[in-house]
Amino acid sequence: MFKQFKENFLNMVNIRLIVLAVIAFALGAVMIYRVFDLQIVNGEKYLNDFQLKTTKVRSLASTRGNIYDRNGNILAYNELAYNVTIEDVYESGRNKNANLNDTIYRLIQMIEKNGDSSVNDFNVVLDSDGNYTFAVEDRQLNRFLADVYGFASIDDMDYKYATKTAEEVVNDLCASDRFGIGNYTDPEDRKSFVPGMGYTKEEILKILAIRYAMNANSFQKYIATTVAYNISEETVAVVMENSDNLDGVSVAEDTVRRYVDSVYFSQIIGYTGKISQEELTVLKEQNPKYDLNDTVGKSGIEYSMESELQGTKGSEDVVVDNVGKVIETSNRVEPVAGNHIYLTIDKDLQKTVYNILEAKVASILLTKIRNIKEYTPAESSGSSDILIPIDDVYFALFDNNVIDTSHFSERTAGENEKEIYESFLIRKADVLANLREELLGKKTPYNELPVDYQVYESYISSMLYSNAVIMEEEVDTSDATYIAWTNDEVISLYEYLNYVISKNWIDVTKLDLNSQYSDSEEIYSQLLEYIFENIDNNTGFNKKIYKYMIKNNEISGRQVCSVLLEQDIITIEEEEESRFTSGLISPYEFMRDRIRNLDITPAQLALDPHSASLVLTDVNTGEVLALVSYPGYDNNRMANGVDAEYFSSLLNDLSTPMINYATYQRTAPGSTFKMVSATAGLLEGVIDPSTLITCTGTFDKIEQQPPHCWNRSGHGSLNVTGGIQHSCNNFFYEVGYRLGTVGERYNTDLGLQKLEKYADMYGLTETSGVEIEESAPQISDIDPVRSAIGQGTNNFTTVGLARYITTVANSGTCYNLTLLDKLTDHNDKLISDYKAEVRNTIDMDSNFWDLIHTGMRRVVEGKGYFSDLSIHVAGKTGTAQESRSRPNHALFVCYAPYENPEIAMAVRVANGYTSDYAAQIAKDVVEYYYGLADEEEIAGTAKELTGGSLNAD
C-alpha cells in the first residue's frame, strides 16, 4: 500500500532530493551537499541543475599595525585601496590553461594601460640584457627551486634541479601542465605546444607570477589571488566594464602598506610582501593561522615585530560550488587590527643625518675629483692620496645605469645620444672584428694586448665561467696553463680556450652541437659562436667599450653632460644651460656643479666613496635616536607587490642601496679600538696612570716585519692619555705585547684572549641588540700587537661601535641597544613600555675612566674644525686600510657633551679616505642636534673639505 502511495505522490509533484555527506578533513569538518532537482512529468523522470556545494571556513585578514617615531610621527600605515583579484573558477580540461592565461594577459593589459602595474613578486626577473635571472640567492634560491619542482625540503632536491638556471625554470613552468603558458604551432596537434610562444619575456613573467601565486591556492580555489594593488579609478572602471569577459576577476576594497619618507627609513622599517613557503613554515610554529595568502614583514622592524603588527584574523563560512565560486557566506567573525609600534628613532634627526651623510660624501668626491684622464700613483703614494679622474666620473654614469644607453637607438633620442650611438656602433664593430681575428688564430699573448683588449678578453673568460660553460668545479686550479692565464702570463685566449676544451672543462650541452661527441675543432667553432652571440648585445660588455671610448676621447665630456640634459636626468636653470651649451662652462666644471648641488648623487656615481652610516644613541638609556644608512631605497615600491623593474634596478645598482651599511657592513675599527686596549692594559695591570711608553716610530720587539707608528719619527714618551690623544700606534703595540707576555715569554694566544675579554665588556663580541638584522662581529684571532690598534682580523658594524662608544661615554654601562620605545593596541592603549637591557657593567676606577675620557677630549681639541663648537665633544678617530688600490675606510666615534654625556655616535664612511672626514660629519650632527645650525646650513650642498690628514689616527 505504501509503495503505491509513493508512486502516486511522485506523479503529482516535483521533489527536491538532498543527499548530505559529512567528510572530516585534517583541519575541521566540511559539509558537502549534492543538490539536484528530480522532476516527474507524465511519469517521465528528469534530473536538473546538478550542483556540488561545499562549506568551508575562509580567514579574513586583519589590518596591520602602524609604526611611529618616538614623537608620534607616523612612519608606516595602511591606506584604503582597490585591488584587482582573480579566483580560479575555470573548468578543468584541455583549454583551461589557455583560457586562464588569456584572461590574465588581457587583464594585465588593461591594468597597465592606465599606468598601474600588476603584482610581480616571482623570484625571476629580467636583467639589463633582457635575460632571465634569479632575484634571490643562496638558501632562498634553493627553497624557491624546491618549491617549483615539488620537493618538501631543500635536502630532498636532486642536483639537476638545484642547478637549474632561471631560463630553465621559466621554460619548465611554462611547459608544465599546471600553467601551459605558450601556444600550439598546430592547434590540432597537442604535441606541438611551444612554451612561451606568443608572449614576450616580460609578459611571460607577469603571467607566470599570477599563475604561480594562484597555484599556491589550488587547494582553496575560493581564495582570491591579487593581480594588482592600489589601482586607479580608471582601472576600476575598465575592469568593471569588462567583467563579463573576465571570469573570476573582481575589484576588491583592501588596504595597502604605505611608508612616509621611505628612503630615510627603509633600512630600519623594511617592507612587507607575500609570505614564502619557508616563512610560512616558521611562522606557523608561532601562529597556526598563517597561510600562503598572508602578507608579512620581509625585513627590518616589519619582519622582527611581525607577530605584534600582524593582528588577529577573522573568519567566515563560505559555500562554494564545484568550481570554487563563492555562493553564500555566513558566521562572520571580524578580524582584530594589529598593534602599533613606537620607535626610539627621532624622525627629523634621522632625515637630517641622512642628508648630512649624502652631502659630506659628495664633498669628499668633490675634494678628490681632478680634471685628468687617469690617475697614476707615485711610489710613495698611499690610499689617502688616490685621486678621481673626471673620465671615471663620466664613465660612472654609464656603469651604474644613470644614463640609459638603450635610449640611444630610440626615435626620440637627442642629438648627442645619436652621435654617441653612431660612434659606438662603429667602435663595437671594430672591437668584435679584432676579437674574432684573435680567437681565430692570431694568438696575441694576453700581456701584450692593449689594455682595453685585455679587459675585453677577461670579460669573455669571466662570462664563460659565470654562465657555467667552463665548469668551474672541473677546473684544476693547480694546472700550469690555468695559472698562466689567471696570472696574465704569456698565453693567448685562443690557446687557453683550446686547452680548456682538451681538458674537458667545457659543458658541451651549452653549445649548439650536433653531437656531444663532437671533435675539439667543432667544439671550438661553436664556442666562438656562443661567445659572439652572447657579447653582441651584452650590456656589461658594451659598458667596457663605452669606458675606453671615453678614455680615448671618442666620447667627449661635453657629450656625456649633454646626454644628462637630453634624458632629463638633471634639470638646471635656462641661463646655466645656455652658458654650458655655448661653451662658457666646461664639462669638468659642469659636472662638479652637478655633484655640488646633489643633482648627481654619490649613490648614482657609485665611486669611492658612495656609502656611509651613522648611529646615534642616548648614552643614559641605550635608546637609538638615529640609525642611518646611505644610500637608501623606496620601500613603497617593494611592498604591496614588488615593482619588478625597480627591484631589478636595485639588484644592478653598484651602490647596493638594499644593504644596511649601519648593521651589515663590517670593517676594521682602526684606532677607534684603542680605548678597548687602554682598558685591558689598565685593568690587567700592564700599565698604570704613570706608565710612560716611548715611541721611536718602529716597534722593534717583533723581529719579523716589525710594525711602525703612523708617525715614523716617533712621539716620544707618552702615558695612556697621550697614547689616545696622539693615537700612537707604538704605545698600543706595547700594550698588546705586554698583554701576551708572561715573564720573559710572549704568548700570542694569551694576548688575544685578554683583548677579547675586554672587547666583550664593551659588547664587541655580540650583536648590538637592535631589533633588526645585523652582522655578527669578528674579534681578531691573530697578532695581539697589531690587534691592539684595531688591525688583525677585527671587524665590527657601525651599530656595534655605537654600543661600544656608548659604554665609554657613560663610564661602563653596556646596553643591549634598542630601537623600540613602546607597544600599544589599535586603540592606543599601552601594552609594553620597552627599555634597553643592561648587558653588563665595567667595574673600573673613575681615575682610569678619566684618563681615557681626557685622551678622547684632547683628540677633538686638536681638530680645528671643532674649535668654534660651543658643545664640547670627546672622540676618537680611526682609519682602516683594506686595500692599497682603494681609499681607506674613515671612522669616528664620539660623545657629547664631554662634561656630562647625553649622546654618543659612531660614524663610518666606507672608502672615505681619512677619519678627519668622518669626524666632520659628527661635528655637523652635533651642531644640528643641539640647535646650533639649521639643516640647510650643513646639508644643503656639497663643498670641498679641508683636513684629510692621517695624523692622530
Q: Rounded to whole angstroms, how far apart are CA atoms 809 and 896?
A: 8
Q: How confident is the model at residue 516 (pLDDT cuts 50, 70, 90)?
A: low
pLDDT over 80 at 425, yes or no: yes
Mean pLDDT (the chain, rounded): 91
What are the angstrom distances between the C-alpha of 596 and each of 566, 573, 945?
20, 15, 12
| Percent of the chain with pLDDT strictly greater than 70 | 93
pLDDT over 60 at 705, yes or no: yes
β-pairing, 225-228 vs 193-195, is unpaired
SS (H, E, C) 636-692: HHCCCCCCHHHHHHHHCCCCCCCCCCCCCCCECCHHHHHHHHHHHHHHHCCCCCCCC
pLDDT over 50 at 19, yes or no: no
Q: Does the bond joining 897 to the residue before it have cis omega, within 30 degrees of 0? A: yes
74 SS3 class = strand
- Quick one: cell of 159? 642536483
Most confident segment among 175-189, 692-706, 751-765: 751-765
Q: Rounded to whole angstroms, how far apart are CA atoms 208 and 508?
A: 30
Q: How confident is the model at residue 51 (pLDDT cuts 50, 70, 90)?
A: low
pLDDT over 80 at 309, yes or no: yes
Q: Which long-range contacts (CB under 8 A, 24 or more apart) does 70-73 make?
A: 70/342, 70/343, 70/344, 70/345, 70/346, 70/623, 70/625, 70/821, 71/346, 71/347, 72/342, 73/260, 73/347
Which position has the grid cell 600582524? 310
Q: Rounded to whole angstroms, how far apart are CA atoms 166 and 216?
A: 20
> Which one has a higher pLDDT value, 394 or 50?
394
**155 CB-contact burial (10 Å; exposed 0-12 / middle 13-18 / buried 19+):** exposed
Encoded amino acid at 190, one letter: R
How many CB atoms within 10 Å of residue 900?
Answer: 9
Mean pLDDT, rounded, for 410-424: 97
Backbone angles phi, psi at 365, to 5 degrees: -60, -45
pLDDT over 90 at 564, yes or no: yes
Element (H, E) at 752: helix 748-761
pLDDT over 60 at 561, yes or no: yes
Q: Rounded to whole angstroms, how far apart are CA atoms 272 and 260?
A: 14
pLDDT over 50 at 25, yes or no: no
Q: How confident is the model at residue 14 (pLDDT cuts 50, 70, 90)?
A: very low
- Quick one: cell of 305? 615585530
Q: How confident is the model at residue 322 (pLDDT cuts 50, 70, 90)?
A: low
Q: Rounded to whole angstroms, how far apart are CA atoms 650 and 35?
A: 55
- Output the pTM of the full model: 0.90
Mean pLDDT, rounded, for 7-33: 41
Mean pLDDT, rounded, for 798-807: 98
Mean pLDDT, rounded, for 625-641: 95
DSSP character at residue 701 = T
Q: Rounded to whole angstroms, how far apart are CA atoms 140 and 147?
A: 11
pLDDT value of residue 163:
86
> Which one has a higher pLDDT value, 53 or 567?
567
pLDDT value of residue 386:
95
How many CB atoms within 10 Å of residue 674?
Answer: 28
| Strand ranges for 826-899 from DSSP E | 830-833, 837-841, 874-880, 889-896
CA atoms within 13 A on the CB side of 794: 31
What are the angstrom distances between the C-alpha of 167 and each of 230, 338, 506, 648?
31, 40, 20, 16
pLDDT value of residue 38:
46
Mean pLDDT, rounded, for 141-153: 89
pLDDT value of residue 221:
62
Backbone angles phi, psi at 603, to 5 degrees: -65, -40
pLDDT over 60 at 718, yes or no: yes
Q: Rounded to whole angstroms, how far apart are CA atoms 926 and 870?
A: 10
- Quick one: cell of 131? 635575460
pLDDT value of residue 219:
67
- Least confident residue range of 34-48, 627-641, 838-852, 899-913: 34-48
Mean pLDDT, rounded, for 215-235: 83
> Which one has a higher pLDDT value, 869 or 213?
869
Mean pLDDT, rounded, for 645-654: 91
pLDDT over 70 at 1, yes or no: no
What are the angstrom distances between the C-alpha of 578 and each of 554, 583, 590, 593?
24, 9, 12, 15
Cβ-Cβ contacts under 8 Å for 317 (sequence gap 6 or more): 55, 56, 57, 58, 329, 330, 331
Q: Rounded to whole angstroms, how far apart are CA atoms 813 and 803?
A: 10
pLDDT value of residue 26:
37
pLDDT value of residue 319:
84
Classify each residue of 931-949 as buried b or exposed e, where b means 16 or more C-beta atoms within 10 Å of its C-beta: eebebeebbeebeebeebe
Most confident segment among 45-49, 86-90, 280-284, 753-757: 753-757
pLDDT value of residue 948:
59
Q: Rounded to whole angstroms, how far apart are CA atoms 910 and 368?
A: 15
